[in-house]
Structure 1
Amino acid sequence: MPPYTPLPLIGNDLVINEDSCNLSCTYCLTGQSNLKEGHSLQLIFDPPKRDDYSPTTELGKRINTVADQINDRFNLPLLKVTGGEIFLVRGIMDFLEEQSRHYEVLVLQTNGVLVTEEHLERMRSWGNVVLQISLDSHLYQGNSYRVQSESLHGKVLRSITRALDSGLPVEIYGVLNDRSVAELTEFAGWLNEFEHPPTFFPFPVRGPDSDHFKIRPEQISHIEELAARYDEFSGILPPYPYFDRLLSFYREGKRTFRCHLPRLVVSSFSDGVITPCPNIWFSDMGNMLGDKAGQVLDKLGSSGLYRALLAPKPRLSACHGCFTPWDTLSMYFEDEITLDELCAAPTYAPPRIRGMIENAKADYLAGAGA
C-alpha cells in the first residue's frame, strides 16, 4: 500500500460496553483481548453492569460522538452495533432508532436473551435492521460453553425462537468448538424448519485460548457432512465456497487466505477507541473523544499495521487463527463468490452498499491488488 490510501469504508462496527454481558461464554474474546487494561482483567466475567443511554448521559454523549464523527467523515451505509450485550443498556432502543435513520442497514449483534417482543416490533418498523444472534447449538451440550445450565439454555432458546419468528432478517453466528461441532448438522436442520429461516454462519472458535475449545481433527468430518448435504440446507447457508474456506482453515491448521475486511470496515468503541479490525482488536489507534479526532481518522489505512492486515498472506499469528462471517467480503474480492452471491445477504443487499463494494473491488484491482 502507498503511505496513505483513503479506505473505501462501507461500515463501522461500534462496540458498546464490551466488558458487560449477561452471559459468560467461556471462550469470550473480550476476556482474551489485550487491547485495554479492562480486557486483561477479564471484567467480562464479572456480574453485568447496567448503563443508561440518552443524549445527555455520559454513555450517550460518547457513542453519539463516535458514531457521528465516523459517519460524517466517511458517509457510511452500514452500522453494526455490538457489545458486550447491547440490550443491557437502558434506553438503547432510542439510540438504535436514531441511528437507523442514517444508514441503509443497521446490524445488531446480540445473544438474544433480553430482546423482547416490543423490541422486535419496534425494530421491524424501522425497516432496515438485521439481527445477528450468537448461538452454538439448539441443544444444551453444544451450547454449554455459552450457558452454564440447562435452564438458562432453555431461556436462551425461547428468546431466540421469538426473534426467529419475528420476520426480521436474522443471521445465526455459531461458534464451532469441540462441543458444538458434533451437533452441527442437527442444528442446521432445526434452523431450517423455521417459517422465516435465518442464515447460519458456523465459524471457528478464536483467540489465544482457542486450543482449549477448538475442534479435534477427527471432528472435521462433522463439517464435511454439512458441506456434503449443502443442497438440503442451502436455504439457510452462505454460498458453498464459504465451506471450502472453512474446511481449508481446519485442514491447513490455520488461515492461509487473504483478508480484505480492514479496508472496508473499521471498529470503534463506546469509550472512543479506534482499532483497524472488527475481528481481532489489535491496537489502539487513538481516541475519538478529544480534539484530535480528525487525526485519528486520518490514520485509517495509513498505519503500518494495515500493511500486515491486508497482506497477500496472513502475517500475524492472530490472523492465522481468524475466520468469521465477515469473510464473505474477502471471498468476493478474491473471486470465490459473485457479487450477486455476496449481496443475497440482507446486510449487503441495498443498492448503495452493493455499488460501494463493487467499486472498492474495482479500485483494488486497478491498484494491482495492493
Structure 2
Amino acid sequence: MIDSLLGNDLVINEDSCNLSCTYCLTGQSNLKKSHDAQLIFGPPTKDHYETGSLLGRNLPIIDSRIDETFRVPLLKVTGGEIFLVAGIMDFLREQAREHEVLVVQTNGVLVRDEQLAELSGWGNVVLQVSLDSHLYSGNSYRVASESLHGKVLRRVEAIVDSGLPVEIYSVLNDRSIEEMNEFADWLADRDNPPTYFPFPVRGPDADRFAVREDQIGHIERLAARHGELAAVLPPAAYFDRLLSFYREGERTFRCHLPRLVISTFSDGVVTPCPNIWFSDMGNLLADDYGESLGRVGETGMYAALLAPKPRLKACKGCFTPWDTLSMYFEDEITLDELCAAPTYAPPGIRALIEERKKLYLAERDGVRHGG
C-alpha cells in the first residue's frame, strides 16, 4: 500500500452550489445516486460546520484518517460552493494549521473581505477561483444573467486584489475561448496578477459546449504570447499539452495524478481521482475504512488510470491544471517550473514530489529491465 500522498482533494456538499453552471460535472457524474438527480441545478442547501452538526462530526474524521494514513501536506477543499456552509472558516482555520498548503476552490461570490483578510494572514492559503471570462458572453455558461456576472466579477476582483496567491480556473468552451486572450490581458493588468489556467470542458455532455476546430487558433495565439504574459500563465509546455489535446481530439498523454492525490467527500466516500469521479472505493466513516485505504494504488482501476496511454473514455476527455504534476513526471517541465506555483512551493511539498518521481522512475525502470 502507498504510505504517502501529496494531497487530499476534499469535496464538501458537491450537490450544493449558488451557481448552476450548464456544464457542471456533478450534474453529469454517476458516482452516487444523488448525482443522477442533478441536485446541483436546484436551490442550494444550507449547512453548518459546528460542534454537533453532521459536517462538524464527519469532516475532522475524514481529514484525520487520510492524514494519518498518507501524511498529506496539501489539502484542497472544494464543493459545490464551500462558502455556502456556515462556519466553514472554522474548518479552514483548523486545516491551515495542520497542512503545509491549504487550497480553497470557490466561485468567489460569497467570499467576504474580512474572510480574505483572515485567509491572507494564515500565510499558506491558495485560492482557486472558477471564472471563464471577464466578459459576460464568455462566462454565460456559468451565470444566467449579465447582472449576476457583474456581481461575480466584482468579487473576483476583490479576491485577486487581496494579496493572496490566486489561480483562475477557466473552462474552455465555444464561448469562453473567443475571449481568452483578452481575459489574459485583463488578468495581467491587475496589481497582483493571478495565474490563468485554461482547460477543456469535460464530462459526458462536453460535445455540447466543446471548442470548435476553427477556434483553436485562439489558443495558438495565447501560446505565442507566453513571453509577454508569462506572469499570468502556467509554463509554456502547458500549452503544448493543451494544443495536443485539441489537435488530436483527445488526451494521448499519461496521467500521474492518482499516484499523488486522493479524492474524498464529506459523506465519507473515497474515489481514486480528483478529476473524474470513477468508482466508490469505500467510506472513511465506516469501521472498515482501513480496508478501503488499503486499496489505494492497488486496484485495477488504478492500473487503468495510471496506464502509459489513457484507456478510459473519461480519461481521454480530461485535461486540467493538475496536469502540471504529470508534466513534471514526464520531464516536460522542471521541478523549478512546477514549484514556482504557490501550491507546490513549500520545501516539504517540493521534496515529496521529487521523491515520488524518483520512486516512480525506479519502479518503471525496474519493470523495463526485468528487475
Q: Using structure 1 for the length normalisation, give the TM-score.
A: 0.98
**2 CA distance for matches of 1:290 and 1:326?**
29
**Is 1:250 the counterpart of 2:241 in the alignment?**
no
Q: How does 1:104-115 map to 2 (within 5 A)?
A: 104-115=100-111
- Cα 1:140–1:247 change in 2 (3 A) is same
- Partner residue of 1:125 out of 103, 121, 128: 121
- Partner residue of 2:280 out of 275, 278, 284: 284
Q: Which runs of 5+ in 1 are unaligned?
A: none
CA contact (8 A) 1:7 1:301 kept: no
- Partner residue of 1:269 out of 246, 262, 265: 265
Q: Which residue of 2 aligns with 1:190?
A: 186
**1 CA distance for matches of 2:51 and 2:288?**
22
**Is 1:316 the counterpart of 2:276 in the alignment?**
no
- Cα 1:102–1:359 change in 2 (3 A) is same
**2 CA distance for matches of 1:57 and 1:305?**
34
**Is 1:33 the counterpart of 2:24 in the alignment?**
no
**2 CA distance for matches of 1:68 and 1:119?**
25
Structure 1 window deviating more from structure 2 (260-269 vs 69-78): it is: 69-78
**2 CA distance for matches of 1:13 and 1:232?**
33
CA contact (8 A) 2:254 2:326 kept: yes
Q: Which runs of 5+ in 2 are unaligned?
A: none
State the Cα deviation string for residues 246-304 of structure 1 (Å, max 9, x = none): 00000000000000000000000000000000000000000010111111111111111
Q: Which residue of 2 aligns with 1:167?
A: 163
Instruction: Report how far residue 126 of structure 1 moved.
Output: 1.0
- Partner residue of 1:179 out of 154, 175, 179: 175
SS of aligned partner of 1:79? strand
Q: Which residue of 2 aligns with 1:230?
A: 226
SS of aligned partner of 2:150? helix
**1 CA distance for matches of 2:245 and 2:236?**
15
Instruction: Report how far residue 56 of structure 1 moved.
Output: 1.9
Structure 1 window deviating more from structure 2 (271-280 vs 63-72): it is: 63-72
Aligned-residue RMSD, C-alpha: 0.8
Structure 1 window deviating more from structure 2 (345-354 vs 69-78): it is: 69-78
- Partner residue of 2:143 out of 134, 143, 147: 147
**1 CA distance for matches of 2:310 and 2:282?**
24
**Is 1:366 the counterpart of 2:367 in the alignment?**
no
**1 CA distance for matches of 2:364 and 2:303?**
15
State the Cα deviation string for residues 204-242 of structure 1 (Å, max 9, x = none): 000000000011000000000100111111110000000
Instruction: Report how far residue 55 of structure 1 moved.
Output: 3.2
Amino acid at match of 1:283: S
State the Cα deviation string for residues 317-353 of structure 1 (Å, max 9, x = none): 0000000000000000000000000000000000000
Instruction: Report how far residue 7 of structure 1 moved.
Output: 5.6
Amino acid at match of 1:175: V
Amino acid at match of 2:74: L
SS of aligned partner of 2:216? helix
Structure 1 window deviating more from structure 2 (56-65 vs 275-284): it is: 56-65
Amino acid at match of 1:275: T
- Partner residue of 2:303 out of 303, 307, 331: 307
Amino acid at match of 2:259: R
SS of aligned partner of 1:328? helix
**Is 1:100 the counterpart of 2:101 in the alignment?**
no
Structure 1 window deviating more from structure 2 (137-146 vs 62-71): it is: 62-71
CA contact (8 A) 1:12 1:267 kept: yes
Runs of 4+ in 1 over 4 A off after TM superposition: none
CA contact (8 A) 2:105 2:130 kept: yes
Matched residues, percent identical? 69
CA contact (8 A) 1:7 1:264 kept: no
Q: Which residue of 1 aligns with 2:52?
A: 56
SS of aligned partner of 1:101? helix
CA contact (8 A) 1:7 1:300 kept: no
